[in-house]
Amino acid sequence: MALKLHNTLTGTKDLFEPLEPGHAGMYTCGPTVWNFAHVGNLRAFLFYDLLRRHLQVVGYRVNHVMNVTDIDDRILDQAMHAGTTIGDYVKPYLSAFFEDMATLRAQAAEHYPRATEHIGDMVAMISALLEHGHAYIAEGDVYFRIASFPAYGALSRLDRTGLRAGTRVAADKYDKESVSDFALWKKAQPGDEQLGAAWDAPFGRGRPGWHIECSAMSKRYLGDTFDIHCGGIDLMFPHHENEIAQSEAANHQPFARVWLHSEHLAEAGGEKMSKSAGGFTTLRDLVAGGHDPLAVRFFLMANAHYRARIRLSNDALYAAAEQVRRLRDFAGRVRRSAPGPSEDQALVQRVAAVRAGYREALDDDLNLPQGIGLVFELIREANAALDEGRVGERGHSELLALMDEVDAHVDVIGADEPGLADEVERLIAEREAARAARDFARADRLRDELRERGIALEDSKEGVRWKRIRVGTE
Stretch that binds ligand AMP, among 40-48, 77-85, 135-143, 175-183 (CB under 6 A): 40-48
Q: Which does 218 bind (CB under 5 to 8 A by kind): ligand AMP, Zn ion, none?
A: none
Give the nearest distance from C-beta 274 to ligand AMP in angstroms: 6
β-pair partners for 266: 272, 311
Stretch that binds ligand AMP, among 24-32, 350-358, 384-392, 440-448 (CB under 6 A): 24-32
Q: Applying CB under 5 A, what is the total number of residues that bind Zn ion?
A: 2
Give the nearest distance from C-beta 237 to ligand AMP in angstroms: 12
Task: Label residues 176-209 b or e (16+ Cβ within 10 Å = b).
Answer: eeebbbbbbbbbbeeebeebbbbbebebeebbbb
CA–CA dist 144, 154 (Å, integer) = 17
**Nearest to Zn ion of 29, 399 (CB atom):** 29
Q: Which does 44 bind (CB under 5 to 8 A by kind): Zn ion, ligand AMP, none?
A: ligand AMP
What residues between 43 and 102 interact with ligand AMP by CB under 6 A?
43-44, 69
Helix (H, G, I), strand (E, B) or coil at 258: strand
CA–CA dist 452, 358 (Å, integer) = 30
The bridge status of strand 23-28 relative to strand 61-66 is: parallel
φ/ψ (deg, to 5) at 136: -145, 160
CA dihedral 97, 258, 156, 48 (to 10 degrees): -20
- The whole-angstrom distance between residue 400's C-alpha and the CA centroid of its chain comes to 26
Residue 402, number of CB atoms within 10 A of its CB? 22
List the Cα angle 21/22/23 in 5-degree steps: 95
List the Cα angle 287/69/44 in 5-degree steps: 50
Dump the DSSP string for 124-187: HHHHHHHHTTSEEEETTEEEE-GGG-TTTTTTTT--GGG--TT-EE-SSS--TT---EEEEEEE
φ/ψ (deg, to 5) at 286: -65, -45
Contact pick of 26, 29, 42, 44 for Zn ion (by CB under 5 A): 29
The number of CA neighbours under 13 Å toward the Cβ of 464 is 18
Q: In the 8-state DSSP scheme, what is residue 263?
A: P
Contact pick of 8, 41, 246, 281 for ligand AMP (by CB under 6 A): 41
26 is a site residue for Zn ion (CB under 5 A)? no
Q: Which does 32 bind (CB under 5 to 8 A by kind): ligand AMP, Zn ion, none?
A: ligand AMP
232 is a site residue for ligand AMP (CB under 6 A)? yes
Contact pick of 65, 125, 214, 375 for Zn ion (by CB under 5 A): 214
In the complex, residue closest to ligand AMP by CB: 232
Residue 394, number of CB atoms within 10 A of its CB? 17
Q: Which does 214 bind (CB under 5 to 8 A by kind): ligand AMP, Zn ion, none?
A: Zn ion
**Nearest to ligand AMP of 302, 334 (CB atom):** 302
Stretch that binds ligand AMP, among 25-33, 398-406, 436-444, 446-454 (CB under 6 A): 25-33
Site string for Zn ion, 173-212 (x = CB under 5 A): ----------------------------------------
**Nearest to Zn ion of 171, 352 (CB atom):** 171
Contact pick of 32, 215, 242, 247 for ligand AMP (by CB under 6 A): 32
Stretch that binds ligand AMP, among 36-44, 136-144, 359-367, 450-458 (CB under 6 A): 36-44
Site string for ligand AMP, 175-204 (x = CB under 6 A): ------------------------------
Site string for ligand AMP, 236-265 (x = CB under 6 A): ----------------------------xx
Helix (H, G, I), strand (E, B) or coil at 36: coil
CB-based burial label for 408 (10 Å; 0-12, 13-18, 19+): middle
Contact pick of 231, 238, 293, 371 for ligand AMP (by CB under 6 A): 231
Contact pick of 272, 325, 359, 435 for ligand AMP (by CB under 6 A): 272
- The whole-angstrom distance between residue 238's C-alpha and the CA centroid of its chain comes to 22
Q: Applying CB under 6 A, what is the total number of residues that bind ligand AMP?
A: 17
Instruction: Give the footprint of Zn ion on this chain (CB under 5 A).
Output: 29, 214
Instruction: Give the footprint of ligand AMP on this chain (CB under 6 A).
Output: 29, 31-32, 40-41, 43-44, 69, 231-232, 234-235, 264-265, 272-274
